[in-house]
Structure 1
């Protein structure tokens, strides 16, 4: 059950991280 939960949430975490990094780069570029 733990493994299934991890595999299920992993993509969600990756998408959230990528979106956060992308948003940060956009904000940083706009600030410059």
Structure 2
């Protein structure tokens, strides 16, 4: 259904956002 597709998109966005935050945090620790 349409709602299910939107939900999966939101989950993917959330995961990619978390990955980006993790990368930024790792970089700050390295510097």
Shorter chain as normaliser: what TM range?
Answer: 0.7 to 0.9
TM-score normalised by the chain length of structure 1: 0.76
Structure 2 residues not aligned, in runs of 5+? none
Aligned Cα RMSD in Å?
A: 1.0
Following TM superposition, the consecutive aligned residue runs of length 4 or more in structure 1 with deviations greater than 6 angstroms are none
Structure 1 residues not aligned, in runs of 5+? none
Q: Number of paired residues? A: 30
TM-score normalised by the chain length of structure 2: 0.77
